[in-house]
Amino acid sequence: MNLHEYQGKEILNSFGVRIQRGIVAQNKNEAVAAAKQLTAETGTGWHVIKAQVHAGGRGKGGGVKLAKNLEQVEEIAGQIIGMNLITPQTSAEGKKVHQVLVAEDVYYPTEGGETKEFYMSVLLNRSSGRNMIMYSTEGGMDIETVAEETPHLIFTEEIDPSVGLMPFQARRVAFNLGLSGAAFKDMTKFVSALYKAYVSSDASLFEINPVLKTTDDKIMAVDAKVTIDDNALYRHRDYVDMRDLREENPIEVEAKEVGLNYVDLDGNVGCMVNGAGLAMATMDLIKQAGGEPANFLDVGGTADAKRVEEAFRIILKDPNVKAILINIFGGIVRCDRVAQGVVDAYKNMGDAIKVPIIVRLQGTNADIAKELIDNSGLDVQSAVQFQEAADKVQAVIG
Amino acid sequence: MSVLVNKDSKIIVQGFTGSEGTFHAGQMIEYGTNVVGGVTPGKGGQTHLDKPVFNTVKEAVEKVGADTTIIFVPPAFAADAIMEAADAGIKVIITITEGIPVADMITASNYIKGRDCRLVGPNCPGVITPGEAKVGIMPGFVFKKGKVGIVSKSGTLTYEAADQVVKQGLGITTAIGIGGDPIIGTTTKEAVELLINDPETECVVMIGEIGGQLEADAAQWYKESGSKKPVVGFIAGETAPAGRTMGHAGAIVGGSDDTAQAKKRIMRECGIHVVDSPATIGIKVAEVLG
């Protein structure tokens, strides 16, 4: 589950990680009130207005701006809320901004002090099965670019799960980032708190870019990209409400509600498959047959009429779909039952289905299933072999 | 010969009396698998599917000599079940459960390191040695006995591959579903190694998917081993969008090696017979076996 910056920061703050403080606002009046409150609480003169959407690169698209007075807070918040923010990580249409974070200015001057930006993330190293902290002196930049151009400036600390993050590792982070004095000490505290927050919140990704050293040597998270492990959400009921469905693809949300694993894609051939690996393989085969997959859809183990019907409805919400390929390997689930499900769903939906359908059923009772489809009188083509199905897809999309 | 499970394996089912455990244990027994009992805490002393139920894995090891387990325990308790099995001295721990929190698997995989056991899965279809033991949820009839080993991250794609191999008039030594989670026990490399070292296996089918380094590691190992046994490979997900299953920073750790295209390139460089179409796995196996 992906979170907004303001939600991620709330979680960090609850575990003692210092953050750039801010208040979320839904409209420009709330933004002004938030700015006043922040000034009262933190003494900040200027404010940073930050679009809250699930996409990186917000600054590049004009979604992060500095306001030097309350008039500017109102003006900028008014501009950003409601805009379609286009960043390198969104589609060409961009993402609609529903709310902004009004944050304190943390780049204030201090006599003789200077700011420095770092990069830090916490994530799983799949190869070792352990968590790691990845960090770099090159903060505020796209980390992939850093990895490509100056890989020697990226460091990692792998955490032994038997003991957790050790003090020497926190010190090494601070040393590698070139810190000394008060900033060094504060960084060791920051890293320890950050790792504790990661483990305690069952996160699967923390990305803090930038981590800022202020002119007066405080270390804080200025941004926060936080992803929580969906499988662990049952341990964090208070986080469940943080899900912002407006940020997710509406068809995917609907699919999830009926228990289908669906990913919306740009192509013209819809597909309905049992099992994630076979679903991906089916998408690949559609491409090789000259089409483009319109979706990934795993119907799971029980492909009965109700489920097939739900899957049809989800797939047909995409107007680009010109054909649907159903690919089921019947194991424990018998193919004839799936075929009956397809026939029943098709009949129930009446005229809603206006595109050709190719059904490939293989495994238990595949022959009976093929007969059932062929004798149904419906505009459904059947196949038994994988390649045969691909050829039929090719034929219908021309 | 075969690997991991055979007719002499003494198998218990953890989560034996639950609906999943009951259904699949029944199927396994019907297949002829040597299921010696099951574990459901609090139901020890009962009989289920004509087999004894134990409160703990340790008890099952002591009383019926269990050496292999299959886990159907719900996600919240599955990591604990894995560790209990390892602690009790079970040698092969096959975990079917899907949806175990990553943090729990970090703990479990750390716990079993250095112990004399092998974890397969989680989130996998299990392991089958045709004609001897089905320790999983796969449809047994698809897997005919033969000389081709299968290693796969996916369930139905494994059945598909086995079916294609069988339709070529060939058969399977052992099919190992290693699972699709970010943290799994037996890796692609370890599973391929087991099958390459199995004298009865003459060809290995290796099926992977996008994300992680497992297939690249296996390919590298295969090249260095100098083995003459042919390996046929397929990677699913050439058309999968980037960044949908992995976090942004996670892509960095994987480097540029975890797309389907990159994995297939590495596998080809290491001498693996890679097919681009999932419909031609069986044909390729028949071709390389001459």
Same domain as B266, residue B161: yes
In chain B, the number of structural domains is 2
Closest listed residue to residue A214, CA positions, set A186, A188, A234: A186
d(CA A51, CA A65): 9
| B204/B93 same-domain check | no
CATH superfamily placement of domain A1-20+108-248: ATP-grasp fold, B domain (3.30.470.20)
Give how far Cα B151 sits from Cα of A203, B118, B234, Å: 30, 15, 11
pLDDT for residue A228 is more than 70 = yes
Q: Are residues B114 and B184 in the same domain?
A: no
Residues B247-290 have pLDDT tens digits of: 222 222 345 678 899 999 999 999 999 999 999 999 999 999 98
**Do A271 and A294 touch, CB atoms closer than 8 A?**
yes
Q: Which residue has the higher pLDDT, A102 or A306?
A: A102
Nearest to B232 by CA among B288, B176, B185, B155: B288
Query: Which run of H or E residues covers position B238?
Result: none
CA-CA distance, B79 to A202, in Å (whole number)? 15
CA distances B249 to A142, A143, A147, B245, B254, Å, are 10, 8, 11, 12, 9
Structure token pair of residue B79? 């990591």
Distance from CA of B14 to the nearest CA of A (A): 20
Asked if residue B111 and residue B46 are part of one domain, the reply reads yes
Cα–Cα distance, B119 to A249 (Å, whole number):
37
pLDDT band at A379 (very low <50, low <70, confident <90, very high): confident
Chain A: residue whose CA lies nearest to B153: A277
Backbone angles phi, psi at A297, to 5 degrees: -145, 115
Give the pLDDT score at B252: 28
Q: Report the C-alpha gap between B39 and B13 in whole angstroms.
A: 6
Residue from A168, A228, A172 nearest A199 by CA:
A228
In chain A, where does the domain assigned CATH 3.30.470.20 lie? 1-20+108-248
- Report how far residue B171's alpha carbon sits from residue B173's, in angstroms, rounded to the nearest whole number: 7
DSSP character string of A381-398: EEESSHHHHHHHHHHHH-
B284 appears as a binding residue in the annotation: no
Instruction: Indicate the angle between helix axes B57-64 and B75-87, nearest 10 degrees.
Output: 40
Size of the A and B interface in Cβ pairs below 8 Å: 173
Provide the residue type at A263 as one letter: V
- Please tell me whether residue B7 adopts helix, strand or coil conformation: coil
Q: Does the distance separating the beta carbons of A123 and B101 come in below 8 Å?
A: no
What domain range includes position B173? Answer: 138-289
- CA gap B151, B188 in Å, rounded: 7
Domain A250-397 class in CATH = alpha beta
Residue B226's CB is within 10 A of a number of other CB atoms, namely 7
Q: Are residues B174 and B76 in the same domain?
A: no
Nearest CA in chain B to A123: B250
The mean pLDDT of A328-341, rounded to a whole number, is 83
Domain at A21-105: CATH architecture: 2-Layer Sandwich (3.30)
Q: Which residue has the tokens 């943090």?
A: B103
Question: Which residues from A are below 8 Å from B156, CB to CB?
Answer: 273-275, 277-278, 329, 331
B131 lies in a domain?
A: no
CATH 3.30.1490.20 positions along chain A are 21-105
B174 and B217 inside one domain = yes
Whether residue A217 has pLDDT greater than 90: yes
Q: Strand A203-213 vs strand A116-125: parallel, antiparallel, or unpaired?
A: antiparallel
Q: Which CATH number characterizes residue B17's domain?
A: 3.40.50.720
| Interatomic CA distance for residues B167 and A373, integer angstroms | 23
pLDDT, averaged across chain A: 93
> Would you tell me which residues 177-216 of chain B have a C-beta closer than 8 angstroms to some C-beta of chain A?
180, 182-183, 207, 209-213
3-state DSSP: chain B helix, strand, coil percent, rounded to 5? 40, 20, 40
Residue A275: what pLDDT? Answer: 87
Last residue of one domain, picked from the residues B123, B148, B180: B123
Task: Please tell me the predicted confidence (pLDDT) of residue B248.
Answer: 22
| B258 reaches A (C-beta below 8 A) | no
Please indicate, yes or no, whether residues B206 and B259 belong to a single structural domain of this protein. Answer: yes
Q: Are residues B276 and B160 in the same domain?
A: yes
Q: Same domain, yes or no, for B198 and B267?
A: yes
ipTM: 0.91
pLDDT digits (tens, 9 = 90+) for B93-106: 999 999 999 999 99
CATH of the domain at B170: 3.40.50.261
Q: What is the pLDDT of residues A195-208, one digit of tens each?
A: 999 999 999 999 99
Is B87's pLDDT higher than 50? yes
Q: Look at residue B216 and tell me whether its pLDDT is greater than 90.
A: yes
Residue B265 lies in a domain: yes
Q: Is B221 a member of any domain?
A: yes
Residue A302 has pLDDT above 80, yes or no: no
Are B160 and B72 within one domain?
Answer: no
Q: How many CB atoms lie within 10 A of CB B129?
A: 24
Residue after which a domain boundary falls, among B92, B123, B154: B123
A119 is catalytic: yes
Chain B residues with CB under 8 Å of A130 CB are 106, 110
Residue of A199, A191, A193 lying closest to A130 (CA atoms): A199
The overall average pLDDT reported for chain B is 93
Two tokens at A40? 């009262």
Does residue B130 sit within a domain? Answer: no
Residues B252 and B150 in one domain: yes
Give the end-to-end CA distance of chain A in Å, rounded to a whole number. Answer: 40
Q: Are residues B25 and B64 in the same domain?
A: yes
Strands B11-14 and A380-383: unpaired
Strand-pair category, B126-129 with B172-177? antiparallel
Domain boundary among B89, B123, B157: B123
A69-73, A147-151, A207-211: lowest mean pLDDT where? Answer: A147-151
**Nearest-angstrom CA–CA distance, A98 and A52:** 7
B132 occurs within a structural domain: no
Residue B195, domain member (yes or no): yes
